[in-house]
Amino acid sequence: MSSAQGFARPPLPAPPKRLSGAALFLDLDGVLAPLAPTPDAVGPEPRRTRTVEQLTHALGGRVAVVSGRTLAEIDRIVDGAARAASGVHGLERRRADGVLSARDPAPSVKTALAAFRDFAEARPGVLVEDKGLSAGLHFRQVPSQADAALTLATALAGETGLALQPGSMVLELKTPGSDKGTAVAAFMAEAPFVGATPVMVGDDLTDEAGFRAAEALGGFGVLVGPDRPTAARYRLENVEAVLDWLGALASAAVEEKEARA
C-alpha cells in the first residue's frame, strides 16, 4: 500500500502495554475469539473469560465488548464477563449499570432474510443468520460465492433501505442508524467511561467506525490481523497477541493502583 506521495506506509506498531486512564472497547470474533467456520462454532473459553473479568476489575469497569453479534451471543461467548456490551453493530446496547437500549428492527429485515435464505438454499455451505435487527449472509465455507453474495446484498440494500455492512466473509443488511462508532461514543458519554481515553480493538471493516470514534475522542484504534489501510494507529497479530496484551494492561493497571494506595 502507498501514500499519495508514493511512499509505502510504515507497518503499524504494537500498542503500548501501559495505558493510564484507558477505556477498552473490544470486538469479539477475530479479536477475543478466533474466527470459526460458523457463528455457532465459537463458545466460551476460560482464558478469555478470565482476561475480560480481570481487565474490567483493573480498569474500574471501563471495558465493553462491541460486536456484530447479539447481546445474547456476546454473553454466551464471554460467559457473562462483559458488564457493558453493544451488539448488532450498535443497534442494541447494555450500559455498565445494566440498563438496556435497542432500536426497533426495520420491517424490511424480513425481506432481506427471505432473499438470503433463497440464495443459501441453492448454495450449500452458505449460512443465513437472523439477528432480529439484521440479516447476515455468511460464505466463509464457500468463498467462491463472495461476488454473488455481494451482488445480491447490494441490490437488496438499494431496494430496502437497509444498511449494508461488509465483514469478514459475511455481508449483513441491518437496520440503519447505528454502528460501532456510535456505540463507542455513547459509552464514552456515560459512567464509568466518561473522561477516559478510548481504545477500540477490532479486526475487520465493521470496526473502522469504532477506530474513527476512538481517535476523535482522544484515543486510538488497534487493528488485529494482517496490516491493511485502516484508521487504527496500532496493530496486534492475532487473538493470542490480544489476550497477552490485555493481560499486560490489567497487570499494569493493578500495579498503578497499588502504587497510589
Identify the CATH number of the domain in which residue 52 sits: 3.40.50.1000
Whether the predicted model's global pTM rises above the 0.85 cut = yes
**What gap in Å lies between CA 221 and CA 206, rounded to an integer?**
13
Q: Are strands 163-166 and 92-94 parallel, antiparallel or unpaired?
A: unpaired
Parent domain of 161? 107-174
Q: Is 209 part of a structural domain of the chain?
A: yes
Specify whether 128 is located in the same domain as 252: no
Number of domains in the chain: 2
Specify whether 76 is located in the same domain as 119: no
Specify whether 195 is located in the same domain as 81: yes
In 3D space, the residue among 49, 17, 90 whose CA is nearest the CA of residue 255 turns out to be: 17
Q: Is 14 part of a structural domain of the chain?
A: no
| The domain boundary residue, chosen from 151, 174, 197 | 174
Per-residue pLDDT of the chain (261 residues; tens, 9 = 90+): 334 444 466 889 999 999 989 999 999 999 999 998 888 899 999 999 999 999 999 999 999 999 999 999 999 999 999 999 999 999 999 999 999 999 999 999 999 999 999 999 999 999 999 999 999 999 999 999 999 999 999 999 999 999 999 988 999 999 999 999 999 999 999 999 999 999 999 999 999 999 999 999 999 999 999 999 999 999 999 999 999 999 999 999 888 877 776
Residue 57 half-sphere exposure, CB side, CA atoms within 13 Å?
11
Specify whether 151 is located in the same domain as 29: no
For 151, the grid coordinates are: 451482488
Give per-residue burial for 21-48: e unless 16+ CB within 10 Å, then b: ebbbbbbbbbbbbebeeebeebeebeeb
Q: Is 27 a catalytic residue?
A: yes
Q: Is 4 part of a structural domain of the chain?
A: no
**Three-state secondary structure string covering the chain:** CECCCCCECCCCCCCCCCCCCEEEEECCECCCECCCCCHHHCCCCHHHHHHHHHHHHHCCCCEEEECCCCHHHHHHHCCCCCCEEEECCCCEEECCCCCEEECCCCCCHHHHHHHHHHHHHCCCCCEEEECCCEEEEECCCCHHHHHHHHHHHHHHHHHHCCEEEECCCEEEEECCCCCHHHHHHHHHCCCCCCCCEEEEEECCHHHHHHHHHHHHCCCEEEEECCCCCCCCCEEECCHHHHHHHHHHHHHHHHHHHHHHC
Specify whether 97 is located in the same domain as 131: no
Q: Give the domain CATH number at 152.
A: 3.30.70
Specify whether 69 is located in the same domain as 49: yes
Give me the pLDDT at residue 8, please: 63
Query: What is the Cα Rg of the chain in Å?
Result: 18
Q: Is 15 part of a structural domain of the chain?
A: no
| The domain boundary residue, chosen from 174, 203, 227 | 174
